[in-house]
Amino acid sequence: MIYLDYNATTPLHPKVKEKIIDFLNDYGNPSSAHETGRKVKFMVEDARESVASFLNCRPDEIIFTASGSEANNTVIKSVGRCANSLCYSSAGKSHIISTVVEHPSVLNTLKCVENQNIDVTYVKVDAFGRVSASDVEKAIRPGVTSLISTMYANNEIGVIQPIEEISAIAQKYDIPFHTDAVQAIGKVPIDLKKLNVDYMSISGHKIYAPKGIGVLYKKKGTKALCPLINGGHQEFSFRAGTENTIGIVAIGEAFKQLKIEMDEEIIRIKKLRDKLEAGLFKTIPNIKLNGHPTERLPGTLNISFKNIEGESILLRLDLFGIAVSTGSACSSGSLEPSYVVSSLGVEPEIAHSSIRFSLGRENTEEEIDQTIEKVGEVVSFLRTMSPIK
Ligand SMILES: Cc1ncc(COP(=O)(O)O)c(C=O)c1O
Note down pLDDT in tens along the chain; length 389 residues. 999 999 999 999 999 999 999 999 999 999 999 999 999 999 999 999 999 999 999 999 999 999 999 999 999 998 877 655 565 555 567 899 999 999 999 999 999 999 888 999 999 999 999 999 999 999 999 988 999 999 999 999 999 999 999 999 999 999 999 999 999 999 999 999 999 999 999 999 999 999 999 999 999 999 878 899 999 999 999 999 999 999 999 999 999 999 999 999 999 999 999 999 999 999 999 999 999 999 999 999 999 999 999 999 999 999 999 999 996 444 455 568 899 999 999 998 899 999 999 999 999 999 999 999 999 999 999 999 877 66
Q: Whose CA is nearest to atom 16 of ligand 1?
A: 155
| Whole-prediction pTM | 0.96
Q: Which of 187, 155, 159, 192 is nearest to 177 (CA)?
A: 192
Q: Is 181 in the pocket of ligand 1 (CB under 6 A)?
A: no
Q: How far apart are CA 203 and CA 122, in angstroms?
A: 24
Q: Is 183 in the pocket of ligand 1 (CB under 6 A)?
A: yes
Residue 194, burial from CB neighbour count under 10 angstroms (0-12, 13-18, 19+)? exposed
Q: Which of 375, 228, 219 is nearest to 308 (CA)?
A: 375
Helices then strands, counting H and E runs in the chain, come out as: 11, 12
Which residue out of 206, 215, 328 has the highest number of ligand 1 atoms within 8 Å of its CB and is therefore the one to mutate? 206
What is the three-class DSSP state of 230? Answer: coil
Dihedral, CA atoms, 76, 80, 81, 83, nearest 10 degrees? 140
Report the separation in Å between the CA atom of 214 and the middle of ligand 1, taken as the mean of its atom positions.
9
Is 226 in the active site? Answer: no
Amino acid at 166: I
Dihedral, CA atoms, 20, 22, 28, 33, nearest 10 degrees? -110
The domains located in the chain, with CATH, are 2-8+262-375 (3.90.1150.10), 14-257 (3.40.640.10)
- Do residues 68 and 146 make contact, with C-beta atoms less than 8 angstroms apart? no
H or E element at residue 149: strand 145-149
- Do residues 214 and 203 make contact, with C-beta atoms less than 8 angstroms apart? yes
Residue 178, burial from CB neighbour count under 10 angstroms (0-12, 13-18, 19+)? buried
H or E element at residue 42: helix 35-55
Amino acid at 257: Q
pLDDT at res. 70: 98
- Do residues 63 and 233 make contact, with C-beta atoms less than 8 angstroms apart? no
Sign of the dihedral defined by the CA atoms of residues 49, 53, 59, 62, in that order: negative
Question: pLDDT (tens digit, 9 = 90+) per residue, 101-136?
Answer: 999 999 999 999 998 889 999 999 999 999 999 999
Q: Whose CA is nearest to atom 12 of ligand 1?
A: 182
